[in-house]
Amino acid sequence: MSLTEDLTRLFEDAFTALNLPAEYAAVRVSDRSEMAQFQCNGAMPAAKISGKPPRDIAAEVVARLKDHPAFKSLEIAGPGFINIHVTDAFLSEHVQDVHLPHLAEHNETIVLDYGGPNIAKSMHVGHLRTGIIGDTLRRILKAAGFNALGDIHMGDWGTHMGILMMDYIRTGEEHVVMDCDLDDPVAVQALFDDMYIRYPKASGAAKEDESLMADARTATLNLQNGEEPFRSMWQKIRDVSVRAMERNYGDLNVWFDIWKGEADAHPYIAPMAEKLKEQGFLVQDDGAWVIPVEKNDDKKKVPPLILYKRDGAVMYGSTDMATIVERVQDFNPARMIYIVDQRQSLHFEQVFRAVRLSGIVRDEVELTFAGVGTMNGTDGKPFKTRAGGVMRLADMIEMARAKALERLNEASLALEMSDSERLDVASKVGIAALKFADLQNQRHADYIFDLERMTQFEGKTGPYLLYQAVRIKSLLRKAGMHDIEHCSFGSLLLQISETERRLALFLTHFPDVFKLAVKNYTPHVLCDYAFSLAQEFSSFYGNCHILSEEDEGIKQSRLFLCAQTLFVLTQTLDLLGIETPERM
Ligand code: ARG
Nearest CA owner, ligand 1 atom 10: 320
Whether the pLDDT of residue 483 is over 70: the answer is no
Concatenate the DSSP letters of all residues of 500-555 into one string. HHHHHHHHHTHHHHHHHHHHHT-THHHHHHHHHHHHHHHHHHHHS-STT-SSHHHH
**For a pocket test of ligand 1, which of 111, 112, 113, 315 has the largest count of ligand atoms closer than 8 A to its C-beta?**
113
Nearest CA owner, ligand 1 atom 6: 116
DSSP-derived secondary structure letter, 342? G
CATH code of the domain containing 75 = 3.30.1360.70
Three-class secondary structure of residue 40 per DSSP:
strand
Tell me, using a 6 A CB cutoff, whether residue 320 lines ligand 1.
Answer: yes
125 confidence band (pLDDT: 50, 70, 90): confident
| Residue 324: inside a domain | yes
Range of the domain at 33: 3-86
Nearest CA owner, ligand 1 atom 7: 116
Lowest-confidence pick of 21-25, 146-150, 285-289, 378-382? 378-382
**For a pocket test of ligand 1, which of 266, 320, 344, 390 has the largest count of ligand atoms closer than 8 A to its C-beta?**
344
Across 570-575, average pLDDT: 97
Across 26-36, average pLDDT: 94
Q: Which residues lie below 8 Å from residue 178, measured CB to CB, with a gap of 6+?
A: 229, 232, 233, 236
Across 573-579, average pLDDT: 98
Q: Check if the beta carbon of residue 73 is closer than 8 Å to that of residue 473.
A: no
Q: Check if the beta carbon of residue 134 is closer than 8 Å to that of residue 255.
A: no
Cα(263) to ligand 1 centroid in Å equals 13
Query: For all residues of the chain together, what is the average pLDDT?
Result: 94
Helix (H) or strand (E) holding 178: helix 174-178
The answer on 431 and 490 residing in a single domain is yes
DSSP-derived secondary structure letter, 68? S
The answer on 246 and 263 residing in a single domain is no
The answer on 434 and 460 residing in a single domain is yes
CATH code of the domain containing 117 = 3.40.50.620
Strands across the sheet containing 288-291: 283-285, 288-291, 305-308
Atom of ligand 1 minimally distant from the CA of 130 = 7
CATH code of the domain containing 408 = 1.10.730.10
Nearest CA owner, ligand 1 atom 12: 116
Atom of ligand 1 minimally distant from the CA of 118 = 1
Q: What is the pLDDT of residue 481?
A: 80
Q: What is the pLDDT of residue 120?
A: 84
> Looking at the 3D structure of the chain, how many domains does it have?
4
Q: Check if the beta carbon of residue 507 is closer than 8 Å to that of residue 98.
A: yes
Q: What is the pLDDT of residue 76?
A: 97
Q: Which among 373, 328, 326, 324 has a CA at the least distance from the CA of 353?
A: 324
| Residue 571: inside a domain | yes
Nearest CA owner, ligand 1 atom 8: 116
CA distance 228 to 510: 56
Tell me, using a 6 A CB cutoff, whether residue 116 lines ligand 1.
Answer: yes
Whether the pLDDT of residue 487 is over 60: the answer is no
The answer on 216 and 70 residing in a single domain is no
Lowest-confidence pick of 104-108, 122-126, 179-183, 227-231? 122-126
Q: Check if the beta carbon of residue 193 is closer than 8 Å to that of residue 240.
A: no
Q: Which among 231, 244, 249 has a CA at the least distance from the CA of 161?
A: 231
| Residue 104: inside a domain | no
The answer on 226 and 115 residing in a single domain is no
Tell me, using a 6 A CB cutoff, whether residue 153 lines ligand 1.
Answer: yes
CA distance 536 to 501: 10
The answer on 246 and 145 residing in a single domain is no
pTM: 0.95
The answer on 362 and 318 residing in a single domain is yes
CA distance 169 to 155: 22
The answer on 514 and 397 residing in a single domain is yes
Tell me, using a 6 A CB cutoff, whether residue 556 lines ligand 1.
Answer: no
Cα(322) to ligand 1 centroid in Å equals 14
Question: Residue 193, CB half-sphere, CA atoms under 13 Å: how many?
Answer: 6
Question: Residue 156, CB half-sphere, CA atoms under 13 Å: how many?
Answer: 26
The answer on 126 and 74 residing in a single domain is no
Query: 262 to each of 124, 152, 334, how far by Cα in Å?
Result: 19, 10, 22
**For a pocket test of ligand 1, which of 151, 153, 260, 266 has the largest count of ligand atoms closer than 8 A to its C-beta?**
153
For the CA atoms of 87, 90, 93, 95, what is the dihedral angle to 10 degrees?
Answer: -60
| Residue 566: inside a domain | yes
Q: Is there a cis peptide before residue 303, judged by omega within 30 degrees of 0?
A: no
Atom of ligand 1 minimally distant from the CA of 347 = 11
Cα(448) to ligand 1 centroid in Å equals 23
118-122, 435-439, 491-495 — most confident range: 435-439
Nearest CA owner, ligand 1 atom 3: 116
The answer on 536 and 456 residing in a single domain is yes
The answer on 536 and 440 residing in a single domain is yes
Q: Which residues lie below 8 Å from residue 564, measured CB to CB, with a gap of 6+?
A: 95, 96, 98, 489, 507
335-384: pLDDT as tens digits = 999 999 999 999 999 999 999 999 999 999 999 999 999 999 888 888 88
| Residue 488: inside a domain | yes
Tell me, using a 6 A CB cutoff, whether residue 118 lines ligand 1.
Answer: yes
| Residue 424: inside a domain | yes
Tell me, using a 6 A CB cutoff, whether residue 155 lines ligand 1.
Answer: yes
Cα(117) to ligand 1 centroid in Å equals 7
The answer on 263 and 236 residing in a single domain is no
CA distance 192 to 478: 49
Q: Vertex 543, ends 541 and 546: CA angle to 5°?
A: 55
Q: Check if the beta carbon of residue 177 is closer than 8 Å to that of residue 191.
A: yes
Q: What is the pLDDT of residue 150?
A: 98
